[in-house]
């Protein structure tokens, strides 16, 4: 077994190590830790000197773990997990939630569902901080990009806890302004004469999001990887696009079209790292989030 000479590593240095391992750069780690990149770099250097190993290889692409770094990462993750469980145990299950929880989500959910749901959770738990990371991609929970994430399909690999949150519906929609200018849409064949709005085809990160492909539509005149950009194009009269029913109440002057011919159902899933199963704080937040999302989807869809 390798012996690490010198002083035992400082926990602050190990936190820097974790942040760099997850963010793959000093600057990203610094933003998470609220330290400047130079300080993070000094602490990584001190940790490597104390342990007499090289933990990262540096390149223009960032910081990548060496074999020794991978070995250390496994130990530090277990220590971090044990610390989280200890804090939860000392806080007690009956107390209000506190601390920081980072939630990753596709931007449709992040823009139209999570703000009101998470605001209510924080209202009931004033010492809690919730961060929503709205990115149109799959989150890497193994790197702890987030404490938990919402996905549009259940992952098939990894040490993850996956639970279905709710189904939600989507329909084709257009603004009244657009329909007055370009005429009604009464049947599927009419779509050929209309401007379509949707995802950038090669940036669709999950097959569940290929709505227009499912309808056999190949040309997208206005495309974005952001649901919010697509929604605003539709709201401004840019064309027709597939819209979440739960988003429609947030803007007036948008109507669903071809509701019988085009009616899609998708699902949201809550995804967590398996190691968090025993962290009661995250279990309680996940339960509140799940209940809130289900309730909010149902409420907003009743309004459409």
Distance CA 242, CA 250 (A): 15
58 has which bridge partners? Answer: 63
Q: What is the CATH number of domain 96-165+267-302?
A: 3.40.190.10
Evaluate whether 107 touches 134 at the Cβ level (below 8 Å): yes
Evaluate whether 257 touches 174 at the Cβ level (below 8 Å): yes
Q: Worst-scoring range by mean pLDDT, 74-83, 191-200, 278-287?
A: 74-83
Q: pLDDT-derived band of residue 143, with 50, 70 and 90 as boundaries? A: low
Evaluate whether 245 touches 252 at the Cβ level (below 8 Å): no
Distance CA 166, CA 268 (A): 6
Residue 82 has pLDDT above 80, yes or no: no
**Mean pLDDT of the residues in the chain:** 89
Same CATH fold assignment for domains 96-165+267-302 and 167-266? yes
Helix axes 26-33, 11-23, angle to 10 degrees: 120
Distance CA 222, CA 220 (A): 6
Count the Cβ atoms, other than its own, within 10 Å of residue 93.
10
Element containing residue 64 per DSSP (H, E): strand 62-65
Distance CA 253, CA 35 (A): 47
**Residue 211 φ then ψ, to 5°:** -65, -50
Evaluate whether 177 touches 253 at the Cβ level (below 8 Å): yes
Cα atoms in the Cβ-side hemisphere of radius 13 Å centred on 98: 11
User: In percent, how much of the chain has pLDDT > 70?
Assistant: 91
Report the SS3 class of residue 271.
Answer: strand
Distance CA 297, CA 69 (A): 43
DSSP, residue by residue, 157-197: SSSEEEEEEEEEEEEEEEEHHHHHHH----SGGGGGGS-EE
pTM of the model: 0.75
Domain boundaries in the chain?
11-89, 96-165+267-302, 167-266
- Residue range 200-227, pLDDT digits in tens: 998 888 888 898 988 888 889 999 999 9
> Tell me, which fold does domain 11-89 have in CATH?
Arc Repressor Mutant, subunit A (1.10.10)
Kindly state the average pLDDT of the residues 123-128. 96
132 has which bridge partners? Answer: 103
CA 197 to chain centre: 23
Evaluate whether 178 touches 240 at the Cβ level (below 8 Å): yes
pLDDT of residue 173: 97
Q: What is the CATH number of domain 167-266?
A: 3.40.190.10
Q: pLDDT-derived band of residue 103, with 50, 70 and 90 as boundaries? A: very high
């Amino acid at each position: 077994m390798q012996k690490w000479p010198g002083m035992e590593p400082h926990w602050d240095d190990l936190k820097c190590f974790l942040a760099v391992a997850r963010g793959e750069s000093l600057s990203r780690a610094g933003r998470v830790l609220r330290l400047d990149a130079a300080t993070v770099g000094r602490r990584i250097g001190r940790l490597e000197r104390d342990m007499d190993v090289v933990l990262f290889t540096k390149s223009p692409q960032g910081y990548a773990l060496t074999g020794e770094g991978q070995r250390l990462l496994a130990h530090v993750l277990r220590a971090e997990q044990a610390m989280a469980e200890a804090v939860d145990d000392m806080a007690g299950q009956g107390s209000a939630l506190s601390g920081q929880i980072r939630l990753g989500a596709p931007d449709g959910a992040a823009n139209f569902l999570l703000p009101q749901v998470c605001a209510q959770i924080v209202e009931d738990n004033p010492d809690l901080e919730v961060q929503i990371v709205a990115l149109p991609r799959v989150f890497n929970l193994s790197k702890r990009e987030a404490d938990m994430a919402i996905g549009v399909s259940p992952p098939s690999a990894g040490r993850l806890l996956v639970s279905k949150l709710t189904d939600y519906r989507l329909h084709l929609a257009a603004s009244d302004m657009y329909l007055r200018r370009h005429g009604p849409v009464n049947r599927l064949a009419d779509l050929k004469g209309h401007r379509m709005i949707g995802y950038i085809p090669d940036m669709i990160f999950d097959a569940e999001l290929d709505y227009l492909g499912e309808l056999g539509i190949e040309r997208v005149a206005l495309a974005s990887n952001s649901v919010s950009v697509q929604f605003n194009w539709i709201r401004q009269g840019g064309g027709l696009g597939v819209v979440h029913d739960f988003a429609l109440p947030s803007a007036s002057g948008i109507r669903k079209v071809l509701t019988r011919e085009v009616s899609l159902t998708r699902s949201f899933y809550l995804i967590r790292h398996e190691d968090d199963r025993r962290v009661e704080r995250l279990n309680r937040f996940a339960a509140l989030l799940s209940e809130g999302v289900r309730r909010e989807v149902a409420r907003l869809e009743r309004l459409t």
